[in-house]
Amino acid sequence: MTAARGSGTEEMLARAAWSRLVEPGDAVAGALVHALGARESLDWIRWAATSGRAESAVQTLVAREDEALAPLRRRLGAALARWEPRLAALEPAQEIEHVHRLGGRFLHPGAPGWPTGLDDLGAAAPLGLWQRGRPELDRLLTRSVALVGARASTAYGDRVAVDLADGLAGSGVCVVSGGAYGIDAAAHRGALAGGGATVALLAGGVDRAYPAGNAPLLERVLEQGGSVLSEVPPGGVPSRSRFLMRNRLIAAVSRATVVVEAAWRSGALSTAHHAAALLRPLGAVPGPVTSVASAGCHRLLREGAAICVTDAAEVLELAGPLGTAPEERHEQARPHDGLDWVADRVLDALSLRSAADVDTLARRAGLSPGDVRGALGTLELARLAELRATGWRRTRAVT
């Protein structure tokens, strides 16, 4: 694929060009492309830039497209000025070719594999997505949970992230994260350990592992049927603003987002807020209050922004229909379960060491002798009480 061969391909090439032209989350670009289409809007920019009469180009365009672009009138001039410096260096066909050689592709809205969750971002949706990995990306993301958190994670956070991701992968859920050190890496590792496909959404190009130390991990992600994604074209350098904008994509492609560990101010919280803004379920894993690495999670819980999740079953429940409800847990039966309050109180009044008669038990328990006799029958059947020569005794300790 080296040149436009029909309108579908032309549109894709134009979107790939757009993805180089603008920084992530450029809402003016999103609205313009939405109104005119990628190719026509790109042609218009080229014309406006080369004509040297941006102001009149904007006026002409807005006059023609009236309703769709009127709200952008004031912002289009400034947008043109910031897009122009990159206009000369657009080579979308080569960039797509480059990603093809890496086993990847450029996805755009409506094309097969495009994660439909991204459309919920509206004008802030990416203009396209660079992907390495298997083609059926959207199917993979149908059952997906983002596990995000601090780069400066603790051993506790890493362990929890690995456990959650392992459990989710075991339930057929795709774990999405950002490919960074710390919680991100632990999440990807756990998903791989659980035999799952996992998706890494990078802030830089998909052809460069960032951080470099995670290159082998990202290779394993690809080998095991997962994907590496970015809205920034190949060669793109990750920057702080790109990290922040990338976070909206993690939230948007996932059915639910869980923050495993995050400091009071942490990029992971931006992902959380994007998830909340998209009305996606948001979970937070608690940790020791003595750990600053959990302060951001506790903040989310405290503000009521996130649900408390402590294991993979609870994450599945959070994510809703994609999972199965967690089984009833921790409900270890105790000997006195199911006793009515009268029997319960008689059990309290019984001693393990010394036997007592019914009247003594009635006084101890604050019950009538008749009630005590009835309850003793129940307790005897349950093997909690026994009648000895000297009276009634408890048969075993009850906590």
Q: Which residues bind its own copies (CB under 8 A)?
A: 21-23, 26, 78, 81-86, 89, 156, 159-160, 239-242, 263-265, 285-290, 292, 294-295, 297-298, 301-302, 307-311, 314, 329-332, 334, 336, 341, 344-345, 347-349, 359, 362-363, 365-371, 398
Closest to its own copies by CB, 103 or 326: 326
Smallest gap from Cβ 109 to its own copies, in A, equals 21
Structure tokens at 318: 């959070």
| Residue 12 DSSP code | H
Smallest gap from Cβ 140 to its own copies, in A, equals 27
Cα dihedral 209, 215, 220, 226, rounded to 10, equals -10
Smallest gap from Cβ 220 to its own copies, in A, equals 26
Give the 3-state DSSP-derived string for 72-108, with helices as H, strands as E and coil as C.
HHHHHHHHHHHHHHHHHHCCHHHHHHHHHHCCEEEEC
| Residue 373 DSSP code | H
Closest to its own copies by CB, 138 or 311: 311
**Cβ neighbours of residue 361 under 8 Å, at least 6 residues apart?**
346, 349, 350, 367, 372, 376, 392
Closest to its own copies by CB, 54 or 129: 54
Distance CA 141, CA 27 (A): 25
Smallest gap from Cβ 22 to its own copies, in A, equals 6
Distance CA 272, CA 280 (A): 9
Burial of 262 (0-12, 13-18, 19+ CB in 10 A): buried
Smallest gap from Cβ 79 to its own copies, in A, equals 9
Neighbours of 210 (CB within 10 A): 20
Secondary structure element (H or E) that encloses residue 228, with its range? strand 227-230
Q: Is the peptide bond before 369 cis (omega within 30 degrees of 0)?
A: no
Smallest gap from Cβ 35 to its own copies, in A, equals 20
β-bridge partners, 391: 388
Smallest gap from Cβ 327 to its own copies, in A, equals 13
Closest to its own copies by CB, 207 or 261: 261
Structure tokens at 135: 């083609």
Closest CA to 214 of 200, 231, 198, 224: 200
Distance CA 149, CA 129 (A): 23
Structure tokens at 69: 């672009």
Closest to its own copies by CB, 279 or 289: 289
Smallest gap from Cβ 219 to its own copies, in A, equals 28
Q: The tokens 């604050």 sit on which residue?
A: 366
Closest to its own copies by CB, 85 or 216: 85
Smallest gap from Cβ 152 to its own copies, in A, equals 10
Structure tokens at 156: 């506790």
